[in-house]
Amino acid sequence: MWQKKSESGFLLIEALIAILIFSLGILGLVALQAVVIKETTDAQYRVEASMFTNQLIAQMWAEDKTNLATNFASPNGPRYLAWQADVITAANGGLPNAAAQPPTVVFGANNQVTITIFWQLPGAAAGTPFHQHATITQLQ
């Protein structure tokens, strides 16, 4: 004669544990995807910042070297102001929140130029430090 064993309901517990493990795996994948999207967006902004600095350097190379500091130095150089508008204008592919901390162009000795661009990721909490990209070049 067959007797009921004390293992009844064990299959239900196994199924619940399997569902729990599967759910944790799915949540991990969703979290990983969110991090990847954030990092990809940040990389895109770094590339754009690099392109903006290279654009300004190319303009400087094409200019008369005697008036570089007058035309391109921040905060009042006329060529700097036009370039700054492109950096902070979203319609031109500008960087997010770049208007809150404008880019800087500093001239040193022997036409050495340091260009620094700042931006903050969209949706960043107040007080979050700005990301920055700096390029230093020697114009001759």
- pLDDT tens readout for residues 45-90: 999 999 999 999 999 999 888 888 889 988 899 999 999 988 888 6
For the entire predicted model, the pTM comes to 0.76
CB atoms within 10 A of CB 99: 16
- pLDDT tens readout for residues 15-28: 999 999 999 999 99
What is the separation, in whole angstroms, between the first and last Cα of the chain? 100
**Residue 134 or 124, more confident:** 134
Instruction: Give the C-alpha separation, 112 to 104, whole Å.
Output: 14
Instruction: Give the C-alpha separation, 63 to 72, whole Å.
Output: 10
pLDDT of 99 higher than 70: yes
Instruction: Give the C-alpha separation, 101 to 79, whole Å.
Output: 18
